Amino acid sequence: MHDDIPLTIGRARRVLDERITPAVHATATPLDTAWHELPGEPVAPAEGLALTFEPYEVGTPWGAAWGTTWFRLSGTVPVAWAGRRVEAVIDLGFDKNMPGFQCEGLVYLADGSPVKSINPRNQWVLIAEEAVGGETVEFFVEAASNPVLLDYHPFLVTQEGDIQTSSSKRLYTSRRMDLAVFESAVHELALDIDVLLELQEELPQGPRRMRILQALDDALDALDLQHIAETAPDARAALAEVLAAPAEASAHRISAVGHAHIDSAWLWPVRETIRKVARTTSSMTELIDQTDDFLYGMSSAQQYAWIKEHRPEVYAKVKAAVAAGRFLPLGGMWVESDTVMPTGESIVRQFSQGQRFFEREFGIRPKGVWLPDSFGYSPALPQLMRRAGFEWFFTQKISWNQVNKFPHHTFLWEGIDGSRVFSHFPSMDTYNSRLSGSEVAKASRQFRENRLASGSIAPVGWGDGGGGTTREMTGTAARLADLEGSARVTWEHPDAFFDRAKSELEHPPVWVGELYLELHRATLTSQHQTKQGNRRSEHLLVEAELWAATAAARTDFTYPYDELDALWQQVLLQQFHDILPGTSIAWVHREAVERYAEIADRLEALIASALSALAGNGDRTIVVNPAPSLQGGALAQSAVLTSDLQATTPVTLTEADGGFVLTNELVRVVVDARGLVTSAVDLATGREAIAPGQVANLLQLHQDFPNMWDAWDVDRYYRNRVEDLVSVTSIDSSVDAAGVARVVVSRAFGESTVTQEIVLEPGSRTLEFDQTTDWHETEKFLKVAFPLDVRAEHTIAETQFGAQKRVTHTNTSWEAAKFETSMHRYVLVEEPGFGVALVNDSIHGFDVTRDSVDGHVTTTLRLSLLRAPRFPDPETDQGVQTHRYGLVVGTDVIGATTAGILMNTSARTVTGGSGFGPLVQASGDVVVSSVKLADDRSGDLVVRVYEPSGRRGTGGLAVDGPFGEPVEVTLLEERDPALPGVAAVTDGVAAFPVDAFEVRTFRFPRI
């Protein structure tokens, strides 16, 4: 036979696109339309339905950026349509290629009942399964005119990302608002042809492909193009045999779950996400009602809480679908958060707040952590997942790696403490699948565990901005349930998939350490004020809990459960993986900074109230220390009268060669006339910290224009162009009454200025830098370099409840790809007997360079301070920015941990009658992470500790308050017989062993 393959494929595709698909709603009549454009923020549905409407003509532009337009649509079902399925078809001016990134609408009945959303890939609304001729129809559309920010030419500078700067021009032009007959046979034929066309594209030359192509030709021969609806059944009959052929026994198994991946903020503000969630969940509950087996999964307790508060009528449908087992709460977290930058306590609260909500609302605890789209995953997570009761972990983002392909799809992930969690990446490399032929084939073809395991997960639905699964996708799934040449597709709860995968992989492969994303590395730096607000809020929350718990234990102070929950939830929301990483529009970050200021004010007031209750009446000055001590001591989380504090020896400051020498009991530092550190000596050992012939505190400015993803990415070629900022506008020095020495340096560069206070305090081995930058650069990257005379094989960077090591060399492509890495409060380099650390109050990114001159190896650490990308926020980081960081001379992991804590947790002064001792004292090899009252409001005390240095040891806890002997609990504060508990309680001290980086939580019952 002649090869007519291209002819058949071209014929089928054109007929499908130009004749069959339009014929699904070919019989139509226009609806009567009216509208009301709102001038400002959205209104509640009841208010929207009561608006005054003016006549509207389809084809009229509507909707300024971020606006809301209410449409009233009405009409009468033609008598000739009686008994037919009738739908409304509404095209607001959609671009089908941009679902989730443009205008959307939610349909309401006149009584306020929500129906479903309309969006670029879901433009229909069911009016009646069997219409009554002559029946009147009326419904309303709440249409959101969100601007397109990520267009066909992405990453263009735009001011449309904030309602304060967006234009008033109407953005969209409607095309269609009709009543139409839904031709079911035509719709099914369209799916048949589409599935077969996509399947044959993935098949090798052979009988199966040829018979599909012949069936397509036969079907098209049976189809009368002038009478599509009438002849569609005949065309379907010609395809029946090839669609009925069963899949091979060994076919890959795809566990599909409906999905929308609604970013809690990104290219839209939080207020629009609330509406996106309502729109999407309305459509998904409607699709559940229209199908027998479809399952939809949604993570993020916050998103459920939003619709409960703002759209209770939608929430009622969600609750019913959850109860029916068709709508699946996933993930057990408050939001799908970033997992690299939040503290360990924040990750714990993501879990505890999320699981408390799901259990309270639905009686369900998700068994797994569902995080498809975060930008890398901390190696502390496996332990925290397991101790929160999670059994599995799901993500997808590592498939975006620039260089190295991750070697597993189903595996055990081992964290810094040795804990392992069963994990899975979807082998089709997407969390927005539409079950296309290419996606399904890819899932089967590249699944790394094909030798032993049978399948993978597919999150199915239009995502990023929501929209979710469509009836076309459920129709595709039905055809792929058992089809020759394809993987088998089944709607299935992820729990069932993971149970089966565990049984199939008795000895799964193991990945040890962080899941580093070889992309989006600049998210550690972009939008500094957002990151700064998060760090400050995290520490204030823990401090507020400490003083509130102490006051509740010792006075009649009432522990503020509700307020603390609300504040935690605000901070957890801002940790969403497009807010904290700095990759959202200007509106989102403007609001985040405003929220952080409000959070700080509320927490300061709460702390002041608790401390007032503790200090009592009086006018004596009291120094309050919220910082835990790794060595115990009287000042650990307590308050003492200033008269009881010991005096300190002042720092000496002398001038030398136009610069200054700062000396205390521990270190001697030389700052030259340019404000650069030329020497930092540990006096006890005589070791010099600064590399020979080099200078530290060197600000360096790089050109920063990545290939794409401006706010997200920094590409390694940025290092090829650098400017050292050494010119000085002014330099001065002083020693204050407390014996603290300061050198103040000012510089100017480009359009910006920077002022540094270089500070050395008595008794401290940390040289502190308090920096204020008036930043007005564009597409630049500001770093500060510290070349260190340390032969370090690894960097040791703090992460949640511990630290992670990374080699300083680049022997392999995996190591070379980590040219920008993360830390929390410190990064340390050390050799036997000597170490140097950098600590900070709000910095997360750094890089390391290993150098050797004549065999003398040195290590350069550089902190990442500021960036200036222009998409999606063209004003990123512009204006005044502040940083605090410090050089710790002669230290180790414990010393770096201590210095990092002190950099972030400041003592405060209050007045009252007396000081007070700590409620909780830790001893041994642990540090206290949090002290709080139990979430269940029993009055029990909960204390969490961890081992910070990566070695086995022992710990002890003593509580000075009305509490009994402790029991060990999970991160959700519940007893678990598998937990070892304390070894002994002697003289009020509960003793217990700890493993490396182990996190342990103890509950002391109120008595």
Q: Which residue has the tokens 């021969």?
A: 221
Half-sphere exposure of 940 (CA within 13 A, CB side): 20
Distance CA 423, CA 432 (A): 19
Q: Does the annotation count 373 as an active-site position? A: yes
Distance CA 17, CA 239 (A): 18
Q: What is the DSSP letter of 496?
A: H
Q: Please answer whether residues 939 and 649 qualify as being in contact, where contact means their C-beta atoms are separated by less than 8 angstroms.
A: no
Provide DSSP, 752-800. Answer: EEEEEEEEE-TT--EEEEEEEEEE--SSEEEEEEEEE----SEEEEEET
Q: 688-705 burial string, b = 16+ CB within 10 Å, else e?
A: bbbbeebbbbbbbbbebb
Distance CA 277, CA 266 (A): 14
In terms of phi and psi (left: phi > 0; alpha: psi -120 to 50; beta: otherwise), the region of 164 is alpha
Q: Please answer whether residues 392 and 498 qualify as being in contact, where contact means their C-beta atoms are separated by less than 8 angstroms.
A: yes
Q: Please answer whether residues 334 and 133 qualify as being in contact, where contact means their C-beta atoms are separated by less than 8 angstroms.
A: no
| Residue 249 token pair | 């026994």
Cβ neighbours of residue 321 closer than 8 Å, sequence gap 6 or more = 284, 285, 288, 296, 327
Which contiguous run of DSSP H or E holds residue 553? helix 528-554
Question: 528-554 and 586-615 are packed helices; what angle lies between their axes, rounded to 10 degrees?
Answer: 20
Residue 687, SS3 per DSSP: strand
Report the helix count and the strand count for the chain, using DSSP H and E.
Answer: 19, 53
Task: Work out whether strand 826-831 and strand 752-760 pair parallel, antiparallel, or are unpaired.
Answer: unpaired
Provide DSSP, 822-856. Answer: E-SSEEEEEETTEEEEEEESS--EEEEEEEEETTE
Helix/strand/coil percentages in the chain, nearest 5:
30, 30, 40
Q: Which of 217, 373, 429, 565 is catalytic?
A: 373
Cβ neighbours of residue 524 closer than 8 Å, sequence gap 6 or more = 340, 341, 581, 820, 822, 844, 845, 864
- So which residues are the catalytic ones? 373
